[in-house]
Structure 1
Amino acid sequence: MAIPSMGKNAFLYQAVFESFLPELDQLKNLLIIPLGKSVEAVLRQLLDENRIQKERILWGFPHPSGANGYRVKQFENTKTEMQSILRDMFNSNPLL
């Protein structure tokens, strides 16, 4: 049985609109750390729809599951980009 994609399944994507986006609107100075490619895919879809800002997303952070054997290599491959995102975020808002 295949796991449905949140971005392609109408029911799951509606849940993103009804739950995640309203909560996101209430938070200020946040950093979103998507844990895994599925969550990143939904965030990229929301970004393409201009519903979120990319400056607050730490792209490339691997899912920490022990079943994700590729996580260490993924972290090493995206580490420099993630450091740049964090540097930009904290330099633009010194109160963080």
Structure 2
Amino acid sequence: MLDQCGIPEKLDIQHSADLFGKERRLLHTTSVIKYPVFINGKNYTGHQPPVDRSPLLQHYAYKEFPAEIAAITSPALIIPLGKTADHVIAELATNNMLPDHTYLTGFPHPSGANGHRVKQFRQQKKQLQANVKRWPVQLTP
């Protein structure tokens, strides 16, 4: 999916898979809530409670996460995976809390548990490609 969005061409690399190997220096992976969260003894899936209804989750999503992203050299391409991450990025973008970055909102979660990912990607592909084309990438050695 990353290849089809045009990321390798933008970064002048062979394949997006290289970001997880020989081009790892170009990638920063994180999570909106990067620490383990358990609700009633079970792994938090991002749905219940919604991030916006929990003061603790709000703190990590809207304070800690933007601070981490601010430390990244702009302009970054942010790819939220999943509806909750997508929602948080959209809120942060609306409030100009992630300035100078480009967002691939609408990118489907690639997990095999997301049985609709291919259909979702097909529906969003043109918009995702357009966002990658607008990304003013600035590579540093």
Give the TM-score of the pair, scaled to structure 1. Answer: 0.82
Counterpart position of 2:133: 87
Within the candidate set 90, 106, 112, 1:60 is matched to 106
**Aligned Cα root-mean-square deviation (Å):** 2.1
Percent identity of equivalent pairs: 35
What does residue 59 of structure 2 align with? 14
Aligned equivalent of 2:85, options 36, 39, 48? 39
Structure richer in helix, relative to its length: 1
Higher relative contact order (CA 8 A, sep 6+): 2
Structure having the higher strand fraction is 2
Contact kept in structure 2, 1:31 and 1:58, CA below 8 Å: yes
The number of residue pairs the alignment matches comes to 93
Matched, 1:26 2:71: yes
Q: Deviations over 1:41-71 (max 9, x none)?
A: 1111222322124851111110112111111
Q: 5+ residue gaps in structure 1?
A: none
TM-score of the two chains, using structure 2 as the length reference: 0.58
| Deviation of the 1:40 alpha carbon | 0.6
